[in-house]
Amino acid sequence: MRGPPGGGFRPPPLPLPVRAGLRAWRALGRAGLARVALDEESLLAAARRRSGLERLGDEPFREPLRRLLASAEGEADLHPLGRLILRQSLVRALVNRLRLEALAERHPEIARQAVEAPVFIVGLQRTGTTLLHRLLTCDPQLRPLLAWEALNPAPFPQDGARGGRDPRMRVAEAAERGLRYLAPGFFAIHPVEAHAPEEDVLLIDASFASPTVDATLQVPTYSAWLRGSDQRPSYRFFRRLVQLLLWQRPGRYLGKTPHHLEFLDALLAVFPDARVIQTHRDPMRVVASYCSMMGHGRALFSDRVDAVGLGREIGERALGAVTRAMQVRDGADTCAFADVAYRDLVADPLKQGRRIYDFLGLSLPAGTEAAMQRWLADNPQGRHGVHRYRLEDFGLDPARLSPLFDPYRRRFGVESEP
């Protein structure tokens, strides 16, 4: 796996059998065989065959899908396995749309499902959003998205739950095993576990206007379009999926993804009574860590990981996210927001948890606090390994990048880290 001149980042190689398979796959591709199709009609046909359904609902999803496919074909430099993984994820997203529309037609009460005062954890990547999210999900009053639900939000129609175990769990467990085989080191960066809480952005994937795409693919044209377009349609579709989840298992929705920070205006437009918890950390640590995370992710899809280009992209995106969020917060109800410093969260998670409960107007039951303590004891920092990263590996100069974040630091009292 090669990186560009000027960047020290080298993603770990894929397992040897996978690399051997890719060489054979490429040879077939050069002979005009075994090329994975990534065209709109092929994807739609595959989703309809798999689901046995026809109705996809509103058509606005087609424009982002077409833009994504064009950018993936023209810019992402996908290897054969990357093409296959992308195709599978896009077909799954279309199947999820089909299943939602079919369920909504049979159960109109889903559209009337209340989403009252949902809670969303936002913040730049690598600022403790996952720690805080998983800590708060120890409370049964709060209803998170679980990883096995993120892959398939609608229940499978053919067999349902057997013996109390939802068959969607098997799919997620297989996906977790696959990722552990392909990229075991990724779990030190972000643990992807079938039964753990996961990120809202995986639901937004079904709108095809989702930032997860450029976390795994180099698609600059699509990324620029995404960040310049109105995100309210994709957030309205996301709300429908939240209603679907609450229809299956009620509670006060507890969502989380750093990507909400870029689109706070759309989030608040669609969830006007939301409560938002923003986490904060030294951007120099954040940018380096997120570059490493994205570099590892992109290596699953392409032989070419442009470390210097990635550093520039992430630095600009992080600056744009905090700047845009500050502008949105200037015009929003200050009572809708709470702020948590990463350093405080790591030093005393339970203390920050109590602060959040006060903010949400909830009491913290003794049983929930005990569950939080058990979770912290079972999940120490570094349980999945140590994540190492440096700004310099991505061609970034801290002396030039750091001052750009000074307005953000001053606004939220963010301290520098060594």
Whichever domain contains 128, its CATH number is 3.40.50.300
Q: What is the pLDDT of residues 41-70, one digit of tens each?
A: 999 999 999 999 999 877 789 999 999 999
Residue from 323, 338, 64 nearest 219 by CA: 64
* β 275-280/337-341 pair status: parallel
34, part of any domain: no
Instruction: Give CA separation, 259 vs 95, 253, 317, in Å.
Output: 23, 17, 11
DSSP secondary structure of 168-190:
HHHHHHHHHHHHHHH-GGGGGTS
Of 81-90, 190-199, 360-369, the poorest mean pLDDT is in 190-199
Q: What is the pLDDT, as a whole number, of residue 261?
A: 96
Of 69-78, 169-178, 288-297, 348-357, the poorest mean pLDDT is in 288-297
More confident residue, 308 or 19: 308
* Number of independent structural domains in the chain: 1
Distance CA 171, CA 155 (A): 12
Instruction: Give the containing element (helix H, strand E) for 342.
Output: helix 342-347
Distance CA 314, CA 298 (A): 13
The answer to whether residue 1 scores a pLDDT higher than 50 is no
The answer to whether residue 81 scores a pLDDT higher than 60 is yes
Distance CA 6, CA 374 (A): 45
Residue from 167, 173, 149, 151 nearest 248 by CA: 149
46, part of any domain: no
Neighbouring CB atoms inside 10 A of 80's CB total 18
67, part of any domain: no
What is the 3-state composition of the chain as percent helix, strand, coil, each rounded to the nearest 5?
60, 10, 30
Distance CA 66, CA 76 (A): 15
Of 213-227, 259-273, 314-328, 351-365, the poorest mean pLDDT is in 213-227
Residue from 10, 417, 404, 2 nearest 185 by CA: 10
137, part of any domain: yes
Q: Which domain holds residue 223?
A: 116-155+163-412
345, part of any domain: yes
* Residue partners of 254: CB distance under 8 A and separation at least 6: 118, 119, 121, 133, 136, 137, 142, 143, 144, 197
101, part of any domain: no
Distance CA 110, CA 248 (A): 9
Contact 302, 82 (CB under 8 A): yes
The answer to whether residue 190 scores a pLDDT higher than 70 is no
330, part of any domain: yes
244, part of any domain: yes
The answer to whether residue 5 scores a pLDDT higher than 80 is no
Please provide the average confidence, as pLDDT, over all residues in the chain.
Answer: 90
* Longest CA span, the chain: 65
DSSP secondary structure of 81-133:
HHHHHHHHHHHHHHHHHHHHHHHHHH-GGGGG----S-EEEEESTTSSHHHHH
The answer to whether residue 96 scores a pLDDT higher than 80 is yes
Where does residue 179 rank: exposed (0-12), middle (13-18), buried (19+ CB within 10 A)? middle
- Percent of the chain residues past pLDDT 90, beyond the cut: 71
Which segments within 202-272 are labelled E, that is strand? 252-256
Phi and psi for 339 in degrees, rounded to 5? -120, 140
